[in-house]
Amino acid sequence: MVKKKNVLIINSGSTPIPPTSGGAVQQVLFDIACGLINRGWDVGILTPSTRESEREGKKWNDKIRWYYIPGLVKSGGIKGILNSISSIKKSLRNVNPDEYKNIIIFDPYIASAVYKWNRHSKIIWSAHNGREKTKLLTNLWTRNVEDIVCITEFLKREFVEITNRSKDSIKVINNPLQNYWLTDRISLDYQPNSILFCGRIVPQKGLDILISALETLSDDIKRKIQLGIVGSTHFYGAKESSYSKAVREQVENSGLNYKWHGYVSHNNLIELYDQYDILAVPSNWDEPATLVAPEGQARGCKIVATTAGGLPEMIAPVWRDYLAAPGDINALANSIQNIINLNDEKSQSFKLEALKWLREKVGFEEVITKWEKLILED
């Protein structure tokens, strides 16, 4: 007999689950799977894979049913969408539809194929961005989707505008933060005035703006700063782009002390966050949300960021005075200078307040409870 508490998670993105080679959304979906497993759910995951992800996945063989999508999944543009739909259709032939009453999907355009495979399931779209999604296509793709789950209120407002759905069918559940981020004590072993950038090296993430902002600071302040740069142009530690080459040249000519860490796996990020005093998130696009901001705050980093998209929702209220408009170099420089000048007593107080806020906002058990309740709703 099939348990009511079962779910199939379908990852139609190009990066695998477990996310051994990057992929914030894949990390979130895997975290949700782990949280549900801990509560007695039967969980299946349909995903592309690599040797590394399959090796990591074997550790979960007694808890997760793995279904692997053969070959490379391409998910960008019309050809990518058609390729993804075709890959999902073929892969679902190897999955018994009677095993799953609930399905969480990564991309809305696979919903029709999933519905045809299992017309009696509840399909939930875990929506992580609204970029390049038109009203016509979004409504077409989500005809068979029961609920859309957005990661911020910002993203929900976007989908309320571009869909014909009721507000009640568009939910907000923030990305969960695993307990190990929040239960370890705030690290005090960091270099003062060290600043960390952690993200893809693409224009939307604003690394060039951060470097420009740091360049405007006085020589006295610049001499105190150690900039750390973590990330690559895409996942898998992808090769250099014209933009990444340009920012490398920019930082080399800036006179700043810096270290270019390159791609760092998610499993090794805690150790890196703990080495830095300040996390900078200079996003320059309508960021739906980001794992980086809550992760850095959880590790005791002070934070400067922009007001881009849903990013402010991921910043603890005590740090929101240090937000700057996207692309505003001078405002970002002022935020950095102000946070550097924050005295130790107030700084430590703010960090502890942020940690308390994070536990309530994105605490793992709280978020998994929301997912469990949503999936079980009739």
Query: Does residue 172 sit in the same domain as residue 203?
Result: no
The predicted-structure confidence for 318-356, as pLDDT tens digits, reads as follows 999 999 999 999 999 999 999 999 999 999 999 999 999
pLDDT value for 167: 87
Query: Does residue 199 sit in the same domain as residue 185?
Result: yes
pLDDT value for 164: 86
Query: Does residue 161 sit in the same domain as residue 219?
Result: no
Query: Does residue 104 sit in the same domain as residue 161?
Result: yes
Any domain includes 25: yes
Given a cut of 50, whether residue 94 has pLDDT beyond it is yes
Query: Does residue 199 sit in the same domain as residue 103?
Result: no
Given a cut of 90, whether residue 3 has pLDDT beyond it is no
Any domain includes 118: yes
Query: Does residue 190 sit in the same domain as residue 170?
Result: no
Query: Does residue 238 sit in the same domain as residue 355?
Result: yes
Range of the domain at 265: 180-361
CATH number, domain of 234, equals 3.40.50.2000
Among the listed residues 277, 269, 258, 266, the one whose alpha carbon sits nearest the alpha carbon of residue 187:
277
Helix then strand then coil, % of the chain, to nearest 5: 45, 20, 35
Query: Does residue 199 sit in the same domain as residue 292?
Result: yes
For the chain, the average pLDDT equals: 92
Please list, in sequence order, all residues whose beta carbon lies within 8 angstroms of the beta carbon of residue 95, skipping any fewer than 6 positions away.
8, 44, 46, 67, 117
pTM: 0.92
Strand ranges (DSSP E) for 170-275? Answer: 170-172, 191-198, 226-230, 257-262
Query: Does residue 168 sit in the same domain as residue 185?
Result: no
* 7 touches 102 (CB < 8 A): yes
* 335 touches 322 (CB < 8 A): yes
Query: Does residue 211 sit in the same domain as residue 137?
Result: no
Given a cut of 60, whether residue 29 has pLDDT beyond it is yes
- Concatenated DSSP letters of 302-342: EEEEE--TTGGGGS-GGGGGGEE-TT-HHHHHHHHHHHHT-
pLDDT band, very low/low/confident/very high, at 236 (cuts 50, 70, 90): low
pLDDT value for 154: 95
pLDDT value for 240: 83
Given a cut of 50, whether residue 272 has pLDDT beyond it is yes
The predicted-structure confidence for 95-142, as pLDDT tens digits, reads as follows 999 999 999 999 999 999 999 999 999 999 999 987 666 888 999 999
pLDDT value for 315: 98
pLDDT band, very low/low/confident/very high, at 1 (cuts 50, 70, 90): very low
Percent of the chain with pLDDT over 70: 95
Any domain includes 33: yes
Any domain includes 102: yes
pLDDT band, very low/low/confident/very high, at 219 (cuts 50, 70, 90): very high
Query: Does residue 106 sit in the same domain as residue 232?
Result: no
Count of structural domains within the chain: 2
Any domain includes 18: yes
* 282 touches 260 (CB < 8 A): no
* 211 touches 282 (CB < 8 A): no
Query: Does residue 160 sit in the same domain as residue 204?
Result: no
CA–CA gap between residue 268 and residue 12 (Å, rounded): 25
